[in-house]
Each structure stands twice: as structure tokens, then as C-alpha cells.
Structure 1
Amino acid sequence: MGAARQALAKGLMVQGADPAAVLAAVSRSGLPSLGGESIRLEQHPRRQELLRLTTPMTWLGTRGARREGFDALGYAIDMVATAARQAGGMLTAPGLSLGGSAVPLDGDTHWLETADPVEQEVLCNLLRRHSPLLIAIAGRGSFVRGGRRDRIGSRWLADSHEHLAARFLASVTERHLYRVQAELRRRDGISHLDRMDVAPLMGNGSVLVRCLDAQTSLAETLAHVLLLSALALRARSMVKEGRREGPVSQRLLEENRARAISDGLRAGMVEDKRPRERERERERDRDRGRREHQVRDAPPDERKIPARQAVRALLDDLVPEFSRLDATPEEILPLLCLVELPGGQPLRAQDLLTRSAGNGQALPEAVRTALTDSRPGGLLLDAVLAEYPGSGQLMLNVWREALESGLSLRARRDHDRPPARSGSRPDQRRRGRAGDRRGRPAGPSKGGKQQ
């Protein structure tokens, strides 16, 4: 099975210059092409100071393809930065102010291509289940030079009135999606599916993901592309094996989503403690003729786990898919920096920019370098190896071994676990199950003879 084709709209912002003039200058120069099609630069439909670089649908299933694609994207961003400087302004990421006033926020939009409607349905529901973790991974607060640090999980989603939590889709047929639209219109006053965090696109068989904040470095965007590609590969495997993604309680999903937006990786995610038991109850009630939605809306038996722990478990679970994508630990380093660093505190590219501003360094140049550096890991790789020379390299080596083996940490533990000794007490008990506790043969039953 191959990886799905993907497209990306990278959010950018121009400060101190007319964005229309920057757009015209870049259009005259011509942006690089990718896969035979040119990268497009457009203005945000409602916020004219925001720009978006949109790539065509491209296959990014190998290291070489990702290197080629992100080299072209980095070159295109550098062209926009040069045009902004020539116009007397600066290029930054949305929500990243190099002056002293707040600036608008935006997100990075992703599209994932699917092979058929069944895969589109499974991928939508799989991304829906993990959408709170995706928000916690990609969310960031706004940055204003000289201002107080914003510790919110996702400032963009917290201030947005155009985002809804994704709904479970039992089907992606036009008739079913029409019913979903009618329900959104009745309950939320919105009749467009593309207002959800994850939405199917009718006609072209793609899945829209619009819950990831615009990143301040190209390395983080590459890591998010790999994460979404791994989830798409997982959905393709599920379809091949005849499995589907079951429903998650909408109340539970929206609660976790709100926690991720508010607290990010500091949040405590609520999960169902007994999903198998609830599934058995659902099957029993279905056999009795009860309606399914009455069981699905029942309050789950819940417990909380830290968001960092849930993200760590997700990354470990996706090791087989990362391995099929020929991913390197440097490419997913921005994800590892959220959960694997020795200090226990997540490290993002925006934190490095904050340090540059505190040290009196040239912040505009640091921002431009982060946005245009297409190396796997980028500035985060340099910072990790400098701050954690021993443990940082050990972390990379451990994940390199895992990616080469294609086995998750749990699978590697089971694989390396020594077999049980033949003379151990558990084996004796199993062999003597018909006898007494010491494993001696049982006596004759009533009315029978001892053999």
C-alpha cells in the first residue's frame, strides 16, 4: 500500500507592507512548480494581510519526494520574504508579531486524497477521534514582541467562530452528507461541512483537515504532514483488512477538544475506561431492538490521562506507518520535542524565537530562517543537539532503531521478552488444571473410575 497524495496551504503574514504589492511582485517572478503544477500564492478571503502558499496534490511517500517538495516550498516562502522586504515590510507567521501590537492568526490547511468513499469515511472518523491530540500538537499561543507569553493551547481556535468539532460519519454518500449539513444548520446555524475540523470533500474524494495552527517553522509543517500521512496510511490499512472506525461520543470529543484548545499539552484528556464493555452493551441492546443512538449517547466510564502521554502513545502506535513512509527521526523531531525531551517541557520553534528576542538578536532574520529552512528538524534539531548533546542524540538513535524495525515500543518489548520457563508454576497450573493446585491428577468423579 502506498501513501496518499497530499496538498498544503501554508499560512503566512506580511507586516509593514501592502500584501497586494507583495503578491503582485511574486506573481511576476513566478513561483516554483511541484509535480508539474505551480505553487499558488493567494490572499486570505477575509484578512487581506494574511497570505497562503498552496501546493498541488503531491505524493510525499518517500524521503526524496518530501525533500523535493519542501525544498520547493521553502524557496517559494523565501521569494515571498524577499518581496516583502523590498516593499518595506517583513514576512512572519500568523500570530507572530515583530512589532508591538497583536496580529491576526491563521492555520495550515491540509488535504488528503483517498482511493474510494469507504476509505474517505474511515479516514474522516479516524482523524476525528484524534483531532483533540492534533490540536494539542499543533496549537500555539500568539507572540507579541515585548509582550507577555501566551500560554493558551491554541489562540487561533480559541478566538475563532468558524470552527466546529467534527461529526461522526456513518457514510460519505451525498444523501448522508446532506443530512449532516441539515443537522449542522439546525443545531449550530452553519450549513457547510468545511466548517468542521475534519470534513469530507464531495466530488474529489479528499479529506480536509483545518484544525492545525499555522506553524512558525517549515520543519514543524513537515512533521505534521508526516503525521497526517501516517494516519491516512493507517486508514488505508483498516479498509484493506475490512475494519471501520467506530463512533466516539460527541460530548467526550468536544470536551477533549476544549481542553486541548485551552491548555494544549498540559491538558488532561478524558478517555473511555471500558470501551469493550460499552461495545458489548451496545450489541446486547441492539439485539433487543433498542435504537443505537440511545446507547451511543450514554455517559461513558471516564478517566483522564495527560495529553503528553496520549501524544506519546499515538506516536509509538504509528511507528509501523512512519516506517512505511521511510521517515527519519529528524523529520519527526518536532513531534518528539513535545513529549521526549529530558526536561519534560515541550520545545517548539516559537520558543527558540522567544529566546532570540530575549537575547537581543535579529528577530526578523530568525523568523525568516525558521520559515525557509527545509532541513528535517530545522532549527529545532540544532537546539536539541546543543542543549542535550547526550540524551538528545540517544533519543534520535532510539527512534531510528524503532523506525528501521517498523515495530512500536510495545511490540518491541513483546518481541524481546524471554519465553516463559517450561517448569514455571503458571505452566504447571495450566497442565494440572483438571487436578489439584499442585498439578496432581484429579480423583475419580461421582460414579466413575480413576484411570
Structure 2
Amino acid sequence: MGAARQALAKGLMVQGADPAAVLAAVSRSGLPSLGGESIRLEQHPRRQELLRLTTPMTWLGTRGARREGFDALGYAIDMVATAARQAGGMLTAPGLSLGGSAVPLDGDTHWLETADPVEQEVLCNLLRRHSPLLIAIAGRGSFVRGGRRDRIGSRWLADSHEHLAARFLASVTERHLYRVQAELRRRDGISHLDRMDVAPLMGNGSVLVRCLDAQTSLAETRAHVLLLSALALRARSMVKEGRREGPVSQRLLEENRARAISDGLRAGMVEDKRPRERERERERDRDRGRREHQVRDAPPDERKIPARQAVRALLDDLVPEFSRLDATPEEILPLLCLVELPGGQPLRAQDLLTRSAGNGQALPEAVRTALTDSRPGGLLLDAVLAEYPGSGQLMLNVWREALESGLSLRARRDHDRPSARSGSRPDQRRRGRAGDRRGRPAGPSKGGKQQ
């Protein structure tokens, strides 16, 4: 099975210049093409100072394809930055102010192509289940030079009135989606599916993901593309095996989503402690003739786990998909920097910009470098190897070994553990023929008599 094709709309912002003039200058020069189609630069429909670089739907399933795609995207961002400087301004990321006043925020929008409606349904529900973790991974606070550090999980989603938690989709047929739209209109006053964090797109069979904050570095955007591609590959495998993604309590999902928006990776995620046990109880209750709604409304057995632990478990679970995508540990380093660093504190590209501002360095140049550096890991890789020369390289080596084997770290531990059936325990080897595995004396042969 191959990876799904993807498209990306990278959020950017122009400060100190007319965005329309920047857009006109870039249009005259012509943006690079990707997969035979040109990258597009557009203004935000409601905030004119925000720009979006949109790539065509392209296949990023190999290391070489990603290198080509992100080199082209980095070159396009550099063209926009050059046009902004020539117009007397500078290019930054949304929510990243190089002056002293707050600036608008935006997100990075992703599209994932699916093969058929069944895969589209499974992918929508799979992304829905992991949407709180995606928000915790990509969320960031606004940065105003000279201001206090914003410690919120996602300032963009916290201030937004255009985002809804995704709904479970039992089907993506037109009739079912019409019912979902009617329910959204009745309960929330919104009748558009694309207002949800994860939504199916009719006609082209794609899935829209719009809950990830606009990143301050191209390396982080590349890691998010890989993460979504791995989840799409997982959904494709589930469809091939005849499995589907079950429903998650909407109340539970919205509670975790609110925690991720508020606290990010510091949040405690509520999870259902016994989903399989409750499913078996449902089956028993159905056999006994009880009504369905009585079983569905039963309160779940819940417990909280740290968001960092949940993200770490998700990355470990997706190692087989990362391996099939030919991913390197440097490419997913921005994800590992959230959960694997020895200090225990997550490290983002925005933190490096904060250090640059504190050290009196040229912040505009640091921002431009982060946005245009298309290397796997980018500036984060340099910072990790400089601050953690031993443990940082060890972390990369451990993940490189896992990606080469195609087994998660948990699966590798289980694989290396001696089997109980192999008779490899020392007491068993010493016992030999003197007795059986329980230590009893050897019995007589068939038809014989024990003396």
C-alpha cells in the first residue's frame, strides 16, 4: 500500500508592508511548481495581512519526494520574504510579532486524499479520535517581542469562533452528511462541515484537517505532514484488513480538546479506561434484550494520563507507518523534541526565536531562516545536538534503529523477551531430562511402571 497524496496551505504574515503589493510582486516573478502544478500564494479571505502558500495535491511517500516538495516550498517562502523586504516590511509566521503589538493568528491547513468513501470515513474518525493530541502537538501561544510568554496551548483555537470539534461519521454518504449538517445547524448555528477540526470533502474524496496552528519553522510543518501521512496510512491498512474506527464519546472528545487548547502538552487527557470491557458489556446487554440507549448512556470508566505520555505512545504506535514512509529520525525530530528530551521540557522552534530575541540577535533573520530552512529537523536539530550532544544523538540512534526495523519500541521489547515456550529459563535448562517443567520427577514411559 502506498501513502496518500497530500496538500498543504502554509500560513504566513507580512508586517510593515502592503500584503497586496507583496502578492503582486511574487505573482510577477512566478512561484516554483510541484508535481507539474505551481504553488499558489493567496490572501486570507478575512484578514488581508495574512497570506497562504498552497501546494498542489502531491505524493510525499518517500524521502526523495519530501525533499523535493519541501525544497520547493522553502524556495517559495524565501521569494515571499524577499518581496516583503523589498516592499519595506518583513515576513513572519501568524501570531509571531516582531514589533510590540499583537498580530492575528492562523493555522496550517492540510488535505489528505483517500481512495474510496470507506477509507474517507475511517480516516475522518481516526483523525477525530487523535485530534486533541494533534492540537497539543501543533498548538502554540502568540509571541510579541518584549511581552510576557504566552503559555496557552493554542492561542489560535482559543480565540477562534470558527472551529468545532469533529463529529463521528457513521458514513460519508450525501444523505448522512446532510443529517450531520442539520444537527450542526440546530445545535451550533453552523451548517458547514468544514468548520469542524476534521471534515470530509465531497466530490474529490479528500479529508480536511484544520486544527493545527501555523508553525514558525518549515521543519515542524514537515514533521506534521509526516504524522498525518502516517495516520492516513494506518487508516488505509485498517480498511484493507476490514476494520473500522469506532465511536469515541463526544463529551470525552470535547473535554480533551478543551484541555489541549488551554494547557497543550501540560494537559491531563481523559481516556476511557475499559473500552473493550464496556463493548463486551454492550453485547451482553443486547443479548439480554435491553434497550440500546440504556447501554450507550452508561458513564465510562475514565482516568487521566499526561498529554506528553499520550503523544509519546502515539509516536511509538506509528513507527511501522513511519518506517513504510521511509522517514528518518531527523524528519520527526520536531515531534520527538516534545516528548523525548532529557530535560523533560518540550522544545519548539518558537522557543529558539525567544532565545534569539533575548540574546539581542537579529530576530527577523532568525524567523526567515526558520521559515525557509527545508532541512529535516532544521534549526531544532542544530539546537538539540548542541545542547544535548550525548543524549540527543542517542535519542536519534534509538529511533533510527526502530524505524529501520519497522517495529515499535514496545514490539521490539516483546520480540526480544525470551518466550515461555522456548524453555530458555536457566532452571529449565539445568533440569534437563530429570523432570518436567514444573519440577516433578520424570514419569514412566507409556505402558511402563514407575519404580
TM over 0.5: yes
Shift of 1:439: 7.8
Map Cα deviations across residues 386-417 of structure 1 (whole Å, 9 max, x no partner). 00000000000000000000000111001111
Q: For residue 363 of structure 1, report the CA deviation from its aligned partner.
A: 0.1
Give the secondary-structure state (helix, strand or coil) at the position aligned to 1:421: helix
1:170/1:426 CA distance change after superposition, 3 Å: farther
Question: 2: distance between equivalents of 1:355 and 1:261?
Answer: 24
Q: 1:302 to 1:20 in 2, by over 3 A?
A: same
Contact 1:429 1:438 (8 Å CA) reproduced: no
Q: Does the aligned pair in 1 maintain the 2:252–2:270 contact within 8 Å? A: yes
Asked whether the equivalents of residues 265 and 308 of structure 1 are also in contact (C-alpha less than 8 Å), the reply is yes
Q: How does 1:366-377 map to 2 (within 5 A)?
A: 366-377=366-377
1:360 aligned partner: 360
1:418 shift after superposition: 1.8
Match of 1:198? 198
What SS does structure 2 have at the residue aligned with 1:243? Answer: coil
Query: What's the CA shift for 1:287?
Result: 3.3
The CA deviation at 1:281 is: 1.6
> CA distance change for structure 1 residues 114 and 421 in 2, over 3 Å: closer, same or farther?
closer
Closer, same or farther in 2 for the Cα pair 1:115/1:422, shift >3 Å? closer
Is the 2:35–2:56 Cα contact (8 Å) retained in structure 1? yes
Q: Deviations over 1:337-370 (max 9, x none)?
A: 0000000000000000000000000000000000
> Equivalents in 1 of 2:26, 2:293: separation in Å?
53
Correspondences of 1:47-58 after superposition (within 5 Å): 47-58=47-58
- Cα distance in 1 for partners of 2:71, 2:29 equals 18
Give the CA deviation at 1:285. 2.9
CA-to-aligned-CA distance 1:51-71 (integer Å, 9 cap, x gap): 000000000000000000000
> Counterparts of 2:411 and 2:438 in 1: how far apart (Å)?
34
Displaced runs of 4+ in structure 1, greater than 2 A? 284-298, 419-451
Q: 2:418–2:424: 8 Å Cα contact kept in structure 1?
A: no
Contact 1:249 1:296 survives alignment (8 Å): no
Q: Which residue of 2 aligns with 1:440?
A: 440
Distance 1:437 1:388, change over 3 A: closer
Match of 2:238 in 1: 238
Distance 2:73 2:23 in 1: 16
**Distance in 2 between residues matched to 1:120 and 1:449, nearest whole Å:** 68
Counterpart of 2:170 in structure 1 is: 170
Unaligned runs of 5+ in 1: none
Distance 1:415 1:446 in 2: 37
* Counterparts in 2 of 1:434 and 1:20: CA distance versus 1, 3 Å: farther
Q: How many residues are treated as equivalent by the alignment?
A: 451
CA distance in 2, matches of 1:424, 1:8: 52
Give the conservation status (yes or no) of the 8 Å contact 2:423–2:429: no
Task: Using structure 2 for the length normalisation, give the TM-score.
Answer: 0.94
Does residue 75 (structure 1) correspond to residue 75 (structure 2)? The answer is: yes
Shift in alpha-carbon separation, 1:9–1:423, aligned structure 2, 3 A: closer
In the alignment, is the contact (CA less than 8 A) between 2:139 and 2:261 conserved in 1?
yes
Whether the aligned pair in 2 keeps the contact of 1:136 and 1:264 (CA below 8 Å) is yes
Give the gaps of 5 or more residues in structure 2: none
* Distance across 2 between alignment mates of 1:415 and 1:394: 21
Q: Work out the CA distance in 1 between the residues paired with 2:168 and 2:313.
A: 23
1:363/1:61 CA distance change after superposition, 3 Å:
same
- The answer (yes or no) to whether the contact 2:152–2:261 under 8 Å persists in 1 is yes
Q: Following TM superposition, by how much is the alpha carbon of 1:330 offset from its aligned partner in structure 2, in angstroms? A: 0.3
- TM-score, length basis structure 1: 0.94
How far off its partner does 1:434 sit? 21
Structure 2 counterparts to residues 253-292 of structure 1, below 5 A: 253-292=253-292
Q: 1:397 to 1:420 in 2, by over 3 A?
A: same
* Deviation digits for residues 108-163 of structure 1 (CA, Å, limit 9, x no counterpart): 00000000000000000000000000000000000000000000000000000000
SS across alignment from 1:158: helix
Cα distance between partner residues in 2 of 1:131 and 1:173: 22
1:286 offset after TM fit, Å?
3.1
Q: Which residue of 2 aligns with 1:20?
A: 20
Task: Say whether the 8 Å CA contact 2:34–2:55 is kept in structure 1.
Answer: yes
Aligned residues of 2:428 and 2:437 also touching (Cα < 8 A):
no
Deviation per residue, 1:407-450 (Å, 9 max, x gap): 00111001111233767999999999999997879999999999
Given that 2:151 and 2:263 are in contact with CA atoms closer than 8 Å, whether structure 1 keeps it comes out as yes
Is the CA contact 1:432–1:440 (under 8 Å) kept in the aligned structure 2?
no
Q: Which residue of 1 aligns with 2:415?
A: 415
Q: Distance in 2 between matches of 1:119 and 1:52?
A: 28
Indicate how the Cα distance of structure 1 residues 421 and 290 shifts in structure 2: closer, same or farther if over 3 A, else same.
closer
Contact 1:5 1:60 in 2 (8 A): yes
CA distance in 1, matches of 2:207, 2:123: 8
- Whether 1:35 and 2:35 are equivalent positions in the alignment is yes
Q: CA distance change for structure 1 residues 358 and 245 in 2, over 3 Å: closer, same or farther? A: same
Moved more, 183-192 or 422-431: 422-431
Change (3 A) 1:390 1:122: same
Aligned residue in 2 for 1:303: 303
Q: Deviation per CA, 1:267-308, whole angstroms, max 9, x where unpaired?
A: 000001111111112222333455545433432100000000
Task: Give the structure 2 partner of residue 62 of structure 1.
Answer: 62
Cα gap change, 1:241/1:17 in structure 2, threshold over 3 Å: closer, same or farther?
same
CA distance in 1, matches of 2:242, 2:220: 33
Secondary structure in 1 matching 2:51: strand
Question: Does structure 2 conserve the Cα–Cα contact (< 8 Å) formed by 1:231 and 1:318?
Answer: yes
1:224-281 deviation line (CA, Å, top 9, x unaligned): 0000000000000000000000000000000000000000000000001111111112
Give the CA RMSD over aligned residues: 3.4
Report if aligned partners of 1:429, 1:439 keep a CA contact under 8 Å in 2.
Answer: no
CA distance in 1, matches of 2:329, 2:260: 25
Whole-angstrom distance in 1 between the partners of 2:409 and 2:441: 42
Query: Do structure 1's residue 315 and structure 2's residue 315 form an aligned pair?
Result: yes
Q: 1:43 to 1:297 in 2, by over 3 A?
A: farther
- 1:433–1:439 Cα contact (<8 Å) kept: no
User: SS state of the match for residue 2, structure 2?
Assistant: coil
SS in 2 for 1:432: helix
SS at match of 2:331: coil
Cα distance change of structure 1 residues 342 and 437 upon mapping to structure 2, 3 Å threshold: closer
- The answer to whether residue 161 in structure 2 is matched with residue 161 in structure 1 is yes
CA distance 1:440–1:347, change in 2 (3 Å): same
CA contact (8 A) 1:432 1:438 kept: no
Q: Secondary structure of 2:433's partner?
A: coil
CA distance in 2, matches of 1:433, 1:168: 59
Q: Residue 200 of structure 2 contacts residue 207 of structure 2 at CA under 8 Å; is this kept in 1? A: yes
